[in-house]
Structure 1
Amino acid sequence: MTDPDTPVLDNHLHLNPDNGRGLAAVDDFRRLGGTHLIVVNKPSWHLGQDVEGGEEFRPVFDRTLDVVAEAADRLPGTAWPVLGVHPGLVTRLVDDRGLSPERAGDLMIEGLELAADYVAEGEALGLKSGRPHYDVPEAVWEASNRVMRRAFSLGADLDCAVQLHTEESEDLTVVAGWAEEAGLPAHRVVKHYASGRLAGPTPSVMSEKDWLREAAERGDPFLMETDFVDDPDRPGAVLGPKTVPRRVDWLEAEGHAEAIRTAHVETPRLVYGVDTEATLDPGGENG
């Protein structure tokens, strides 16, 4: 098991305290040596598809804050929320609700602006946005890019990170350039579900061994994640909450101690401005 003095951060997972494993997943993470979590809100359509404006995202965000506070109490480190609007919502709004792409984009921006209020109040660490990872009509793609660029301008105003859900790619320099144009440094843009190689944003590497080995050998800033979805209808989807601590042990056995420090101490500080060492109490909970 990982040295208890070593921070171990899962940079992107979801917790479903109502219908999923919830805090039991946090306990699994901790038992294997996990110390810190960044918890991203579940997609808003889990509360239904009838959101008509930004305020209706509030129950999703508030429920996320509640479970993050409970998770933090169970960890030797802490947990932070990242709030935003899943880019897949655009398809549900356009295809299922019949909204125009422009109106769908407006509604999603309203949700992002509400999430930004939580960041401004110190209740959330950053924002989540992006664009669909699947083929969509050009008008939907343009609307999604407009939403994402609004997230960058909000991140710049708030001096906070923006996590992105996007198509699979090893080169998002154009997207990072949009962030820079908005005043948000490219390193504060995080591509969730990244492989071991990425140009532009900071990669949040899915904790598959081959991808982690490549990221470790490259030596650039990176984070580690599972994208644990905590969905009882998809029990084997993505990776489980024990994976990041196990992969940290594996990286250590492979001789990548420097990469462990990069992913769990230096890059969280660079991207989010958090100190995973100062917030770690190896002998207790919620350091």
Structure 2
Amino acid sequence: MQEFDTPVLDNHLHLDPDHGRGLEAVKDFARSGGTHLLVVNKPSWLLGHEVETREDFRPTFETTIEVVKEASELLDGRAWPVLGVHPGLVSKLVDDRGYDPEDARDLMCTGLSVAAEYVESGDALALKSGRPHYDVTDAVWEASNAVLRHGLSLAAEHDCALQLHTESTTDLSDVAEWAAERGVPEQRVVKHYAQGHLTGGTPSVMSDKDRLEDAVARGEPFLMETDFIDDPDRPGAVMGPKTVPRRVDWLLEEGYDDAVANAHVETPAHVYDIDTEATLNR
């Protein structure tokens, strides 16, 4: 089993205990030297839950909270849940189920409010929202941005970070402005699946070497992730759970100790107010 002299955090991956690898993926991560996880709930429809009411969101969130508890028992560090509503739900509601964009917006905002209840109770660390990364109508785009702004309002209310699934961009200045209007510190706006740099938030950098080299060269706060999707029908999609530990090993071999501390100790503390060193028990 690989061990490092540093915490190793994957900032964004998914675990599906019913349909995917679940805890076996956590074991792979831990054996490779990984210590801490931020586990984001899979989209509700991929866990078999259709949403029509407020309470329909809870099974997805509670499945994630439960698997996180079990994951923590397998780690030298621990795992935390990140809960929210995938922005792709708007298309499921509008295109597949005939919702008006405004009604889809309202239901998704309701789901985010339910997720925030778990942050308030201490059962989740942060929220997740965003907007589509594919072409949509103007009405759907505006509805999606309204959901995102609601997520920022909830982040302000509950003093937590907001992970974002958005279009491919290195500039989220518009979102940073909305965050500032609500009193959310810019560093707590986290772009999932990010490049090596970002204007308007903290990049959660996909852990390929080119993106990481960009992040290292800039010396600004960043996180590392795989976006492991835990989908048996797409086994090669995105990155596997061993990737972040392997990239940490590579960074250390290249002499980038400061960058590893940045991504796995300093930035998690600034963004989420978590102490990955104090929660590391070897």
Q: TM-score range by the shorter chain?
A: over 0.9
Could you state the TM-score of these two structures normalised by the residue count of structure 2? 0.98
Matches within 5 A, 1:1-287: 3-48=3-48, 50-282=50-282
Provide the rounded CA distance (Å) in 1 between the counterparts of 2:145 and 2:275. Answer: 32
Unaligned runs of 5+ in 2: none
CA contact (8 A) 2:49 2:59 kept: no
One-letter amino acid of the counterpart of residue 116, structure 1: A
How much has 1:263 moved relative to structure 2?
0.1
Change over 3 Å in CA distance of 1:89–1:130 after alignment to 2: same
CA contact (8 A) 2:132 2:165 kept: yes
CA contact (8 A) 1:151 1:162 kept: yes
Could you state the TM-score of these two structures normalised by the residue count of structure 1? 0.97
How much has 1:7 moved relative to structure 2?
0.1
CA contact (8 A) 1:54 1:111 kept: yes
User: How many residues of Structure 1 are paired with residues of Structure 2 in the alignment?
Assistant: 282
How much has 1:111 moved relative to structure 2?
0.3
Provide the rounded CA distance (Å) in 1 between the counterparts of 2:59 and 2:174. Answer: 34
Identity of aligned residues (%): 68
Aligned to 1:285: none
CA contact (8 A) 2:44 2:50 kept: no
Cα displacement string for residues 97-135 of structure 1 (whole angstroms, at most 9, x for unaligned residues): 000000000000000000000000000000000000000
CA RMSD in angstroms comes to 1.0
Provide the rounded CA distance (Å) in 1 between the counterparts of 2:147 and 2:116. Answer: 13
CA contact (8 A) 1:82 1:127 kept: yes
Report which stretch shifted further, 196-205 or 1-10: 1-10
Provide the rounded CA distance (Å) in 1 between the counterparts of 2:229 and 2:2. Answer: 24
CA contact (8 A) 1:86 1:165 kept: yes
CA contact (8 A) 1:49 1:93 kept: no
How much has 1:45 moved relative to structure 2?
1.0
Cα displacement string for residues 160-216 of structure 1 (whole angstroms, at most 9, x for unaligned residues): 000000000011111111111111111001000001021111000000000001101
CA contact (8 A) 1:2 1:249 kept: no
CA contact (8 A) 2:49 2:56 kept: no
Unaligned runs of 5+ in 1: 283-287
Indicate the SS of the match to 2:196: coil
Indicate the SS of the match to 1:11: strand
Cα displacement string for residues 135-155 of structure 1 (whole angstroms, at most 9, x for unaligned residues): 000000000000000000000
Provide the rounded CA distance (Å) in 1 between the counterparts of 2:2 and 2:209. Answer: 17
Provide the rounded CA distance (Å) in 2 between the counterparts of 1:28 and 1:117. Answer: 31
Cα displacement string for residues 249-272 of structure 1 (whole angstroms, at most 9, x for unaligned residues): 111111111000000000000000
Indicate the SS of the match to 1:261: helix
Provide the rounded CA distance (Å) in 2 between the counterparts of 1:197 and 1:220. Answer: 8
One-letter amino acid of the counterpart of residue 191, structure 1: K
